Amino acid sequence: MLATAQNGAVFEIAPELQQHNRQQQHLLLRYLALPLKEDQQRLWLGLDSLNNLAACETFGFLSGKLIEPVLLDSAQLKRLLQSLIPQNKQTIETENFYQAETVSEPQIDEDEPVIVLLNQLFERALTRNASDIHLEPQPQGLQVRLRIDGVLHSEPVIAKSLAPRVISRLKLLAKLNISETRLPQDGRFQFKTTFADILDFRLSTLPTNLGEKAVLRVQQNKPVQLQFAELGMTQSQQKQLRHALSQPQGLILVTGPTGSGKSITLYTALQWLNTPDKHIMTAEDPIEIELDGIIQSQINPQIGLDFSRLLRTFLRQDPDIIMLGEIRDEESAAMALRAAQTGHLVLSTLHTNDARSAISRLQQLGIAEHEIENSLLLVIAQRLVRRLCQECHKQLATTCACQHGYKGRVGIYQFLHYDGRQFHTDFQDLRQSAQQKLDEGITDLAEIERILGAAA
């Protein structure tokens, strides 16, 4: 298939691009646009007007490429579109639907381009292992940013005219009130990808002076298949953790700020513990990964179902092992210690900066020192640092698939245990643990300082 630009340039549309055009036919019709050619960085887009900025913005966002607009004769463009699309499916409309800057009432329809746009965004988030998707209102539209390995990366801007429809579509998926734009809302939904992966999304919306902002937390709803070594633990730490997990009762705590990988550590431990002869129960907020053979419950504060209430019920359900998503208050701390002292292995998390701080935090929550000494098996303090990309080994690598010199993350850990007389840590602090990863060439100093701050 050939297309001739008004400047005389001739484009032969590749068969694979023709097939892709057929798959997004409703977008081509809406925008009166036709992709003609593409390479690694650019997409040549046929238009009947170079003022069709909405088409350039949308196809730039969907492709992640720089758009090279190509001016085509209007009659030729419509003829090319008609040749791609079955006649009984659509008729070409000359009106560009998204030229209007204002939308009186968001229309949620299965033919809307926002469906394809969001599907592409979700697929891209999966491909790039993004943990969060940010949609931030700006004067020119919705700025998309993906959090990859703990760092936000900017994506193409969604056209301003599409912004209300995108937010409304997300609200619809999460079963939220579409018409309520003045108050924050929270919800959840699932998305099935092209490769049949199920993604769980937690949606949070926030009103701002430029419109509604949305953040999506991305979670693949499938079991993690990790070993302790893959998390980044040393041989000594792996041995120490397995020893603690093998005890019939006691408390194991994982500490660190939000986003430090505590959940993955707990899920990996639960998988190691999960055998047919054990009854394992979890109280979570929310359930991030569903694990076969484990009884998982999610708190619901709106009806009074908090960690403490779930834990009280668990103790009447004959568990061997209990995972408590977080020790948040005096009641949950007291109940966790009680369970750990009465024949149960308890795993939980605390928000502290290092391993030793977990002891003082428990004391602040009303736990006596002797109870801590009698029950606490192990404290794991951790952070996540980005791994240096093994393909390029450079911090800046725009020609490599990693795009920024890092690929994936690895944990740095500090372990604390009680030897019967006093508490001991394996590393003086997390910086000393990180130094080991630096010496092994796994990460670099810039990344360590980004996570832990500059050394004094």
Tens of pLDDT, residue by residue over 189-219, are 988 876 557 788 999 999 999 999 999 999 8
The class (CATH top level) of 2-91 is alpha beta
In CATH, which of 3.30.70.20, 3.40.920.10, 2.40.50.100, 3.30.450.90 is domain 113-220?
A: 3.30.450.90
pLDDT at 401: 55
Range list for CATH 3.30.300.160 in the chain: 2-91
pLDDT at 8: 86
Q: What is the Cα–Cα distance from 298 to 288, expressed in whole angstroms? A: 10
Q: What is the Cα–Cα distance from 423 to 375, expressed in whole angstroms? A: 13
Range list for CATH 3.40.50.300 in the chain: 228-452
pLDDT at 108: 46
Tens of pLDDT, residue by residue over 277-286, are 999 999 999 8
Q: What is the Cα–Cα distance from 25 to 40, expressed in whole angstroms? A: 22
Who contacts 281 (Cβ-Cβ below 8 Å, separation ≥6)? 294, 295, 296, 297, 314, 317, 319, 321, 322, 323
Q: Work out the angle at residue 366's Cα, subtended by the Cα atoms of residues 363 and 372, and round it to the nearest 5 degrees.
A: 50
Report DSSP letters for 388-450, one per residue. EPTTT-SS--TTSTTSSSEEEEEEEEEEEEE-SSSEEESSSSHHHHHHHHHHTTSS-HHHHHH
pLDDT at 397: 46
**Contact status, residue 56 vs residue 66, Cβ threshold 8 Å:** no
Q: What is the mean pLDDT of each run of 10 residues along the chain (456 residues)?
A: 86 85 76 89 91 82 85 88 62 36 43 76 86 96 94 90 92 94 94 73 96 93 76 96 98 96 95 96 91 94 92 96 96 95 97 95 96 97 94 55 79 95 94 95 95 87
**Which of helix, strand or coil describes residue 316?**
coil
Return the closest-CA partner of residue 324 out of 358, 284, 361.
Answer: 284
The CATH number of 228-452 is: 3.40.50.300
Radius of gyration (C-alpha) of the chain in whole angstroms? 27
Strand 423-425 and strand 10-12: pairing?
A: unpaired
Dihedral (CA of 14, 20, 25, 29) sign: negative
pLDDT at 339: 96
Tens of pLDDT, residue by residue over 31-60, are 889 999 998 889 999 999 888 887 887 788
Dihedral (CA of 438, 441, 443, 445) sign: positive
Dihedral (CA of 448, 452, 453, 456) sign: negative
